[in-house]
Homo-oligomer: A and B are copies of this chain.
Amino acid sequence: MSEITMKAGKARSASAVLNRLSTNQKNDALQLMADSLRNHKDDIIAANQEDLERGRAQGTSPSLLDRLALNPQRIEAIAEGLEQIIMLPDPVGDVLDSFERPNGLQITKVRVPLGVIGIIYEARPNVTVDAAGLCLKAGNAVVLRGGSSALSSNRKIVEVLHSALSASPLPADAIQLIESADRSSVDEMLKLNGMLDVIIPRGGQSLIRNVVENATVPVIETGAGICHTYVDETAEPAMAEAIAVNAKVQRPSVCNSMETLLVNTRFAAAHLEHLADQLKNSGVEIRGCTETVKLIPWAVPAEEQDFATEYNDYILNIKLVDTLDEAMDHISRFSTKHSECIVTENTAIAERFLQEVDAAAVYHNASTRFTDGFEFGFGAEIGISTQKLHARGPMGLPALTSTKYIIHGNGQIRG
């Protein structure tokens, strides 16, 4: 039996126990996990050093090494993350619907755990704890497959979490770490129907593509964000400028940052030069359509492919459009359906945009950077779904549950 089959089997058995635990029992286990991480932070940092040294020897980039690195402050933040999960309401057992049929059947629809959740991610050791904490709180066992460059850190973290769980009613088997660095372990995991109930990929585009294209287990797709902001003719210039600059530069590396600014030609004639200067002052390279370059001679001419690119960087496409429809056509063609924004003082135009643009989150007069579990008030999130099934947008604990119909009868049979 392979490592992944064996560990998924253990997770499946643990999930049957988890399903029966109370909210207090789960919260107590999460607190033990947080305490244990704090108590063993030196061990974890030592294991993390092994990963960092290996990474440096292999010429890993400084930004990837930074994502991988742990220090006392980061471990404290991870432990506090678990304590935030304790504060979140437990979705399991919530009654979503309840009704009686004419034949007397009492039908109740309740939230239940999904069962066993697979998480495939890259070299961020904090995901190991965040994902485990969220899955456990929603009553699920979790099978973690992190990037091999973080293996020493992840192995130590999971060892610490297991020791914490051994003092709780929650079975240690509820958290499984796949240690094989072999790519075939991922391939096998993607096809474990019946053992895994869902796989959530967290990471870059190529990781997500691989999971979506090869999984037979249901997947929740997350993360891809080619987000647009459309500045309408009637936009208030200072507001448009503040929103555009914020959506681009407040944190360019994340999925809800803006990649393309669409500007109404009449607004552009009066205000684009000033707006572009503000972006330039923030360090943004502008790639403009032909009309943009006429107004902003220092802009780089945009290629068609630029509009289909998620830069996650200080680069922004600007395209001028004559109408709302032209803006929406462009969005419909290039959007990844994550977050889209219109800046306008015209309510009718705003309402058309909000209704017709197909995305997880559509904004009127606010930065796309708000698409986030914390900003929406959901607490911690497991990711931002960019698909339409099951969950769309920031996913809090309810996204990690399914439902079940419980039917009470007194002998009803079907006629």
The docked-state distance in angstroms from the alpha carbon of A90 to that of B406 is 25
Q: Does A219 contact B (CB under 8 A)?
A: yes
Q: In the complex where A216-B212, A388-B198, A392-B402 touch, is A376 in contact with B101 (Cβ < 8 A)? A: yes
Q: Which residues of B contact A359 (CB under 8 A)?
A: 404
Q: Does A411 contact B (CB under 8 A)?
A: yes
Binary contact track A316-352/B, C-beta < 8 Å → 1, others 0: 0000000000000000100000000000000000000
The docked-state distance in angstroms from the alpha carbon of A216 to that of B208 is 12
- The interface residues of chain A, by DSSP majority, are classed as mixed
Of residues 99 through 116 on chain A, the ones whose CB sits less than 8 Å from some CB of chain B are 99, 101, 105, 107, 112, 114-115
Is A414 a contact of B115 with CB atoms below 8 Å?
no
Interface size on A, residues (CB 8 A): 66
Q: Which of B99, B193, B404 is A362 in contact with, Cβ under 8 Å?
A: B404
Could you tell me the distance in whole angstroms from the C-beta of A344 to the nearest C-beta in chain B? 12
Is B115 a contact of A358 with CB atoms below 8 Å?
yes
Q: Does A369 contact B (CB under 8 A)?
A: yes
Is B242 a contact of A411 with CB atoms below 8 Å?
yes
Binary contact track A21-33/B, C-beta < 8 Å → 1, others 0: 0000000000000
Q: Does A413 contact B (CB under 8 A)?
A: yes
Is B220 a contact of A389 with CB atoms below 8 Å?
yes
Q: Which residues of B contact A246 (CB under 8 A)?
A: 413-414
Is A218 a contact of B219 with CB atoms below 8 Å?
yes
Q: Which residues of B contact A369 (CB under 8 A)?
A: 413-414
Of residues 169 through 213 on chain A, the ones whose CB sits less than 8 Å from some CB of chain B are 193, 197-198, 212-213
Could you tell me the distance in whole angstroms from the C-beta of A220 to the nearest C-beta in chain B? 7
Binding site for B on A (CB under 8 A): 16, 19-20, 99, 101, 105, 107, 112, 114-115, 193, 197-198, 212-213, 216, 218-220, 236, 239, 242-243, 245-247, 250, 332, 354-356, 358-367, 369-371, 375-377, 387-390, 392-393, 402-414
Q: 9 nearest interchain CB pairs?
A: A366-B409, A246-B413, A388-B402, A369-B414, A390-B390, A366-B412, A389-B390, A239-B411, A361-B405
